[in-house]
Amino acid sequence: MDNVRVRFAPSPTGYLHIGGLRTAVYNYLYARQHNGKFLLRIEDTDRTRFVEGAIENLIRSLTWAGLEIDEGVMMENGEVVEKGDCGPYIQSKRLDIYKKYVDQLLESGHAYYCFCTKERLDNLREEQKIKGKVPRYDGLCRGVSMEEAKKRIANGEDYVVRLKLPHDRDISFEDEARGTITINSNEMDDQVLMKSDGFPTYHMAVVVDDHLMGITHIIRGEEWLPSTPKHVYLYEALGWEVPTYIHLPGVLNSDHKKLSKRQGDVSVEDFRGHGYLPEGLVNYLALVGWSPEDNQEIFSMDELIKAFDTKRIAKTGGVFDVKKLDWVNSHYMKELSADELLDMAMPYIEKAGLFTKEDVEKNPEHYRVLMETIQDGLDRLEQVPEACGFLYDDYEVTEEAALEQLKSESAPKVIEGLQEILGEMDEITLEEAGKLMKQVQKISGVKGKNLYMPARAAMTGNVHGPELSNIIYLLGKDEILKRLEKAKSYFA
């Protein structure tokens, strides 16, 4: 497939929604698979919803997710810039372009001026609802001649420009994920193309921009499916070739309703804040609404690019399952080196007040071992402080199973053996920590579970957890002796 050009075209209304990121991911995969271009366009014609700083946030989220923008709106040295031959790529800078094509549609008879007031339209909608009809414009101004319309405009009357749809005509288009879709024009509205403030509606702007920017494939959410026949008709009215459409299923919450803020986190920033890795989030999102042929679940970006197939995009919404996201992300957490994990987790660690970068510089091995010790149990970075808790929390034994171990027959022998050996040692090295329990076994005559479980319970207050030799090294001689003394108070 030659010259594939796709675009991600969000509105700057705040942070990037997780469903928006998935749309961007699918566009990006498609572009890379076909050696095409991935464009970022900003659709900001609805000025009432514009949020300051939203464009920067969008670009930062896409960059963090590893989606490289080839053309359009980008950031350079902290500034928003536009790059490419089809600009401007921000819709509010393109008003003259839209006006030119609205005028063309008016002249060719494919559009008309409408002078109906808001009151009239509201009343019409109410009447139609009462009669059980679908609320839509009744075409009153279709009969206003161009001459009369121009007079009324000259007299200062407010107006919009509407699309003049043909009567009772089937409009069909091919959707690469859903097949042929046909809607009759009688079921559609004479869409407003230009609002009274001179700004185009989404429907006008999107068709003009996609054509002039050479977009070959439109990959977007299924909420635009009902509007697509209007867009197809607009392409025809303007004498342009219709691009290929691929409509994506929604991203749903566990109740199978659209994922929304009321249910909790929905923005990329939220997930980033919880310490999900970009690789984990992108890998998981790709699987919400698309399934590979062989049920593979862990994919690098390169593997996703190779495997992605629009024919395997689901027709029904995909449920966003945080547990599954955690599982996918934990895979990428395990792939980090101890140094990478420490570096990425440092903001969470410092916020919790556990230790500082200066502490790490003084004793790098200690903190490297700490990361290796906790790494396997992590799903996301925000869990690091809690996972380090065994070192920093006040030592108490509250877990039922741990208390049982301390009341067991072997516990006094094990603790006595530990105290004896530790009493003869200086500070414990990692190598010595690895041999310590073998020495306790010799002195106490206790082995297996009867040795390890009480020892772990006495040192950590738990019966399960990371490698015991690492814990011994990390706690150090003085702290262990202190805990062993306290553990005796729990004996039966």
Return per-residue pLDDT of the chain as tens, 492 residues. 679 999 999 999 989 999 999 999 999 999 999 999 999 999 998 877 888 999 999 999 999 999 999 999 999 999 999 999 999 999 999 999 999 999 999 999 999 999 999 999 999 999 999 999 989 999 999 999 999 999 999 999 999 999 999 999 999 999 999 999 999 999 999 999 999 999 999 999 999 999 999 999 999 999 999 999 999 999 999 999 999 999 999 999 888 888 876 666 789 999 999 999 999 999 999 999 999 999 899 999 999 999 999 999 999 999 999 999 999 999 999 999 999 999 999 999 999 999 999 999 999 999 999 999 999 999 999 999 999 999 988 888 888 999 999 999 999 999 999 999 999 998 899 999 999 999 999 999 999 999 999 999 999 999 998 899 999 999 999 999 999 999 998 885
Q: What is the pLDDT of residue 264?
A: 67
Active site annotation includes 261: yes
Rg (CA), the chain: 32
| CB-based contact 403:458 (threshold 8 Å) | no
Quick check: helix, strand or coil at residue 471? helix
Which residues lie below 8 Å from residue 36, measured CB to CB, with a gap of 6+?
Answer: 1, 3, 4, 5, 6, 30, 216
The predicted structure's pLDDT at residue 398 = 87
Q: How far apart are CA 210 and CA 221, in angstroms?
A: 16
Report the C-alpha gap between 284 and 260 in whole angstroms. 18
pLDDT at position 263: 62
Paired sense of beta strands 179-184 and 170-175, if any: antiparallel
Fold of the CATH domain 91-248: Rossmann fold (3.40.50)
Distances, alpha carbon 187 to alpha carbons 152, 183, 201, 206, in Å? 30, 7, 20, 21
**Cα–Cα dist 26/310, whole Å:** 9
Domain 400-489 has CATH 1.20.1070.10: no
- Any idea what the Cα angle at residue 16 is, between residues 14 and 19, rounded to 5°? 130
CA distance 461 to 422: 19
pLDDT of residue 70: 98
Looking at the DSSP assignment, which residues form a beta bridge with residue 219? 246
| pLDDT given for residue 58 in this prediction | 96
* Residues in Cβ contact with 431 at an 8 Å cutoff, skipping those fewer than 6 apart: none
Task: Kindly state the tokens that stand for 25.
Answer: 């991911």
* Partners of 82 in the β-ladder: 73
* Per-residue CA distances from 8 to 213, 361, 489 (Å): 12, 43, 64
Q: Describe the strand order of the beta sheet including 71-76 as a list of residue ranges.
A: 5-8, 37-40, 71-76, 79-83
Note if the bond before 88 is cis, omega within 30 degrees: yes
Q: Which residues of 430-447 are buried (b: 16+ CB within 10 A; e: fewer)?
A: eebbbebbebbbeebebe
Would you give the DSSP letter of residue 438? Answer: H
Of 70, 22, 7, 63, residue with least CA distance to 283: 22
Residue closest to 229 by CA, chosen among 203, 209, 249, 248? 203
Superfamily of domain 5-89+251-312 in the CATH hierarchy: HUPs (3.40.50.620)
How far apart are the C-alpha atoms of 149 and 110, rounded to whole Å? 15
Beta carbons of 426 and 487 less than 8 angstroms apart: no
Per DSSP bridges, beta strands 170-175 and 160-163 are unpaired
Alpha carbon of 134 to those of 125, 129, 145, 318: distances in Å?
8, 7, 27, 29
Phi, psi torsion values for 220, nearest 5 degrees: -150, 175
Render pLDDT for 315-329 as a digit per residue (tens, 0 to 9). 999 999 999 999 999
- With H, G, I as helix, E, B as strand and everything else as coil, classify residue 161: strand
The single residue of 133, 257, 261, 442 carrying the catalytic annotation is 261
Annotated binding-site positions for ATP: 261
- At residue 308, φ and ψ (nearest 5 deg) are -60, 135
Q: Residue 451 carries which DSSP code?
A: H
Helix axes 411-423, 468-488, angle to 10 degrees: 110
pLDDT score, position 51: 87
Task: Give the tokens for residue 367.
Answer: 């903190």
